[in-house]
Structure 1
Amino acid sequence: MGDNVVAVKITEDNTLRNSKYVKGVQYLVENGVKQIPDVYIQPPHQLVNLTKFVRSNEIPVIDLAGLNDDSRSGVLAGIKNAFDRWGFFQVINHGVPVRVVEQMMDVARRFHELPTEEKMVHYSAYPSEPHRFQTIFNLEKQTVLEWRDNLEQKCYPPPEDDNWLKNPIGYRDAAMDYSREVRKLAKVLLAAMSEGLNLSSDALEKCLGDEFTQIFLINYYPPCPNPELVLGVNSHSDRGALTVLLQDEIRGLEVFNEGNWFEVKPLANAFVINVGDETEVLSNGIYKSVAHRAIRKIGDVARITIASFCNPTLEAKIGPIAELTEVNPPLYKEHHFSDMVRYVRSRYYDGKSGLDNFKLPNKS
């Protein structure tokens, strides 16, 4: 979901903009909400297809340590197969130090547990801000709200020192260390994915512009009195290139596969990886972005995830890589990443409609 600055029209008299709901769902919980407001209740069709979760249907786990030994070809094949079968996988032995992850999770939790008035200092409806607290993703188009608050932080190109939070204490250093380590991991994954397409290891990264951008979202899902009526995040595919997700031990992430929603079980010291719409374009449909969502399960503990979005620059021209269209014709129109951002923001979440908008007509 994250991206760089694109002009977005926001109506000043928008009802949601001036409502109490911009203070977030944690504000409602702290004020003793017993029955969720109607604005959070999802329509029945959004809640159908209960999660199916059996051991044989767990998403693949890839051990990245194998990239550095004789197992490399097997790891590359495993990544390609995982994207073909699921569009998602988890990685272990990824090289991000446990200390860095723990410090990031600590400041993430401490931010969202700050008093509401301290978080609202950072509230903004505008994506141009270097960081912003928000709970409503699209003030113009959203009619049903999600049960989550989030903090969006731009982290590459590196912000000036004043554009990192000062509160909670330690946030800046933890966020900078974490972003740096995740960027290293993303580069390793992009190289492996390129090789999996029988391209040079730098092929995908080169397509993302001079230096791919990086944003993270710290998502906070407080306990909910009626979890069966809400979604933490609606069904969507990510618009960018690659997403690296850190989730805590509380379940909630679901992936749509073969007509059903499947839970992505949290795994200690692992990251969840998925490609975005623009990587599907670049790979000419070989790597597919996949719809996913977050549900809020029964329980009295808040769930936290940190989604790092590695995206093309806004000026990057995105289209199927030429070598991948020699046998199969191109499936998608060439466009700038800014075109994708504008289209998706104009429609709120709508499955993979952003990608669908850039498909070429089927000539068969």
Structure 2
Amino acid sequence: MEVERVQAIASLSATVDDIPPEFIRSEEEQPGITTYRGPVPEIPVIDLVKVGHEDQDELVHAIATAAREWGIFQLVNHGIPEEVICKLQRVGREFFELPQEEKEKYASLTEPSKLEGYGTKLQKDLEGKKSWVDFLFHNIWPPAHVNHAAWPKIPSDYRAVNEEYAKYLVELVDKMLAILSKGIGLEDDALKKANGGEDLEFLLKINYYPPCPRPDLALGVVAHTDMSAITILVPNDVPGLQVFKDDHWFDAKYVPNAIIVHIGDQIEILSNGYYKSVLHRTTVNKEKVRMSWPVFCSPPPEAIIGPLPKLVNSDTTAKYKTKKYKDYAYCKLNKLPQ
């Protein structure tokens, strides 16, 4: 059955001030109604070079505090060269500019344990609503888990660019997990080991949000927390990320050359609730294409995830169930009780 892509719908809607009804969210979700219009607190921005150079303990404190109070922070001077990120953005943009028949070669065949390919609808929506986004998923790390058949052949340097980005990203994720481990009084490798060690899987998603005639009514991605351990996201320069904090939806400020770090569900579980998985959503723009490149760093399917034993004692009980990651992911994707 042919699937109508949002990019195609957007091109047909370019001359009208309307969108199909399945994209119109309820009043409780519509960003035109629910976005906070008062003074906006800013998501923490952490300079890895400045803070880390002056005092490693200060860096640990800054990141741990952001992860606990916000569940999200932005990193500048993160160690991934600007030219590497620019190339990542270029090849992703070029893929979505290809003719539709070329993109459809990578159409998603989503399985419970595997998310790879090109698509539109991902999670179940109990009300039958749709999100204003097309996407491309594929694993980028570790090499043994990469299926290059899911990687676009066009542009021709797509593979080389993504492999280069992955090498820098692995170093950054290792650093973040080590700092977050220190922040809860554990050894540097505690959180990485708990998430599968060298088998930690890196799943890239490219989100493509076309211009939308009614951005006040639609959402690019609905409110959710990431089921990953940690998510590293590269945005383009069109704002759209919103974070829920203090009972309000706030716009995230675009910071040039910054990378956004989301705490995911698995780190919240492993830390027994000390760190918070951030509730967030994505809005869309009336005139401009918004894109983002999140990488979801998650345990392998058979990894058993639960509160770390050192964080559970007679005074602090386990706040979460212990289960295999694949079982957690299945329930989350299908909106089943955990």
Q: Same fold (TM over 0.5)?
A: yes
Segment drifting more, 221-230 vs 176-185: 176-185
Is 1:87 the equivalent of 2:71?
Answer: yes
Is 1:114 the equivalent of 2:98?
Answer: yes
Q: How many residues align?
A: 329
Within-5 A mapping of 1:316-327:
316-326=303-313, 327=315
CA contact (8 A) 1:52 1:263 kept: no
| Counterpart residue number, 2:163 | 176
In the superposition, the TM-score normalised over structure 1's length comes to: 0.86
* Letter of the structure 1 residue corresponding to residue 302 of structure 2: E
**CA–CA distance in 2 between the matches of 1:173 and 1:131?**
19
* Letter of the structure 2 residue corresponding to residue 84 of structure 1: R
**CA–CA distance in 2 between the matches of 1:67 and 1:201?**
18
| Counterpart residue number, 2:138 | 153
| Counterpart residue number, 2:8 | 27
**CA–CA distance in 2 between the matches of 1:225 and 1:67?**
43
**1:155–1:142 Cα change, 3 Å:** farther
Give the match's secondary structure for 1:250. Answer: coil
| Counterpart residue number, 2:201 | 213
Give the match's secondary structure for 1:288. Answer: coil
Q: For structure 2, list consecutive stretches of 5 or more residues without a partner in the other structure.
A: none
Is 1:49 the equivalent of 2:30?
Answer: no
Q: CA deviation at 1:142?
A: 6.7
In the superposition, the TM-score normalised over structure 2's length comes to: 0.92
**CA–CA distance in 2 between the matches of 1:78 and 1:68?**
10
CA contact (8 A) 1:282 1:319 kept: yes
| Counterpart residue number, 2:61 | 77
| Counterpart residue number, 2:262 | 274
Is 1:307 the equivalent of 2:291?
Answer: no
| Counterpart residue number, 1:260 | 248
**1:53–1:85 Cα change, 3 Å:** farther
Q: CA deviation at 1:140?
A: 7.8
CA contact (8 A) 2:234 2:293 kept: yes
Within-5 A mapping of 1:193-212:
193-210=180-197, 211-212=199-200
| Counterpart residue number, 1:11 | none
**CA–CA distance in 2 between the matches of 1:39 and 1:163?**
29
**1:310–1:270 Cα change, 3 Å:** same
| Counterpart residue number, 1:328 | 316
| Counterpart residue number, 2:119 | 134
Q: 2:154 aligns with which of 161, 164, 167?
A: 167
**CA–CA distance in 1 between the matches of 2:117 and 2:4?**
12
**CA–CA distance in 2 between the matches of 1:312 and 1:66?**
31
CA contact (8 A) 2:124 2:333 kept: no
| Counterpart residue number, 1:362 | none
**CA–CA distance in 2 between the matches of 1:120 and 1:142?**
27
Q: CA deviation at 1:213?
A: 0.5
CA contact (8 A) 1:209 1:315 kept: no
**1:330–1:131 Cα change, 3 Å:** closer
Give the match's secondary structure for 2:106. Answer: coil
Give the match's secondary structure for 1:219. Answer: strand
Write the deviation string for residues 142-200 of structure 1: whole angstroms up to 9, x where unpaired.
71100011111111232254442211221111111112211211110000000011100
**CA–CA distance in 2 between the matches of 1:337 and 1:26?**
33
Is 1:60 the equivalent of 2:44?
Answer: yes
CA contact (8 A) 2:222 2:281 kept: yes
**CA–CA distance in 2 between the matches of 1:25 and 1:136?**
10
**CA–CA distance in 1 between the matches of 2:122 and 2:36?**
25
Q: CA deviation at 1:124?
A: 1.8
CA contact (8 A) 1:240 1:311 kept: yes
**CA–CA distance in 2 between the matches of 1:120 and 1:279?**
35
* Root mean square deviation, CA, Å: 1.9
Q: CA deviation at 1:53?
A: 6.0
| Counterpart residue number, 1:15 | none
Give the match's secondary structure for 1:78. Answer: helix
Q: For structure 1, list consecutive stretches of 5 or more residues without a partner in the other structure.
A: 1-17, 348-353, 359-364
**CA–CA distance in 1 between the matches of 2:309 and 2:37?**
39
Write the deviation string for residues 81-103 of structure 1: whole angstroms up to 9, x where unpaired.
11222111100111001111000
CA contact (8 A) 2:200 2:297 kept: yes
Segment drifting more, 282-291 vs 180-189: 180-189
Is 1:244 the equivalent of 2:232?
Answer: yes
Q: CA deviation at 1:139?
A: 6.0
**CA–CA distance in 2 between the matches of 1:69 and 1:109?**
35
Give the match's secondary structure for 1:69. Answer: helix
* Letter of the structure 2 residue corresponding to residue 30 of structure 1: S
